[in-house]
Amino acid sequence: MFKITAALFEPQRVETLWTRQHNIFLDILRTDLLHPVVSGNKWFKLKYHVEDAFAKHFDTILTFGGCFSNHIVATAFACKQAGLKAIGIIRGELESAQKAHTLQQALSYGMQLYFVTREQFRDKEAIKKEFKNVYPVNEGGYGILGAKGAGEMLTGIADHQRYHHIVMATGTGATMAGIVDRALPYQKITGVSVMKNNRSLDSEMRALLSESSVHKNYEIIHRYHFGGYARKSEDLLLFMNEFYMETKVPTDFVYTAKACYALKEMIVQGDIPGGSRVLFIHTGGLQGNLSLPKSKLIF
């Protein structure tokens, strides 16, 4: 079990060759320190879903995900902590899933898992109808309530007003939407998409913004997918090791390393001007690295 403490919201100042060369003040919000398995942003996205489920007198949450879904395990955990039952609808085969560390964790937190084919998985409405009296949460915690919770990662930081630029990894866009919603007009928010050609992401992110946030200063960049979701290159792994050596901050190859790599390039190319105070939101996900051969990473 864990508690959200004030210490979690104290960003960590880091320095690298490229922050020094370009005179950038880089702070990292280490939500990866929240828990070894539960991704920081996933927990925040679930907070208001859990509250809403309680308020509406549900005792079970139903949600969806793949075999390696950080959201599934976070839901299992959040429900256990809140005293709710959890059902996970998993896309894919039981056989391959048995190997998935992530799902083992979800089971250990008491989640009930159901495996469906890709085709069945697409029809979420049909699946929901098969379960009575369950509170449904979208895949990845996507939704207004998810974004609302994620925004608290920013507002939890005492002096979050000091940052000029905020950077994070983006999957469904819910986390980013929450951050944009809580950002100030002079802050530039950059989301780094970890998927290839996820063309609907921009509009899905925008759909979660409040009216007054639509014209804030934000952008999603799509060039840092490294081949697609959960794909990687030797170059990315090399970067992860280098970044760890310089900062002692571990990243994961599915999300945070890609965003951090993009951040480095934005700084080196001058897209983030010298003198800027930058906040990088480390969203967690480190257990994703367990699928890599041991020799690849130094941490």
CB of 264 to ligand PLP, least distance (A): 17
Rank residues 46 and 157 by Cβ distance to ligand PLP and give the closer one. Answer: 46
Q: In sequence order, which residues have a C-beta less than 8 Å from that of residue 260 and are 6 or more positions away? A: 239, 243, 251, 280
What is the footprint of ligand PLP within residues 150-189 (CB under 6 A)?
A: 169-176
Binding flags for ligand PLP, 130-149, as an x/- string (CB under 6 A) = ----------x---------
CB of 171 to ligand PLP, least distance (A): 3
Q: Residue from 255, 257, 264, 272 that binds ligand PLP (CB under 6 A)?
A: 255
Q: Which two tokens stand for residue 215?
A: 């014209």
Residue whose structure tokens are 């900062």: 247
Q: Is 108 a catalytic residue?
A: no
Rank residues 22 and 260 by Cβ distance to ligand PLP and give the closer one. Answer: 260
Nearest alpha carbon to residue 205 among 169, 233, 237: 169
What is the footprint of ligand PLP within residues 15-74 (CB under 6 A)?
A: 39, 41-42, 70
65 close to 72: Cβ distance less than 8 angstroms: yes
> How far apart are the C-alpha atoms of 187 and 259, rounded to whole Å?
18
CB of 85 to ligand PLP, least distance (A): 23
Options 18-26, 158-166, 208-216, 283-291: segment touching ligand PLP (CB under 6 A) = 283-291
Options 213-221, 222-230, 239-247, 279-287: segment touching ligand PLP (CB under 6 A) = 279-287
Strand positions, DSSP E, 17-164:
25-30, 60-65, 85-91, 112-116, 135-137
- Annotated active-site residue in 69, 108, 213, 291: 69
SS (H, E, C) 61-87: EEEEECCCCHHHHHHHHHHHHHCCEEE
Indicate which residues carry an active-site annotation.
69
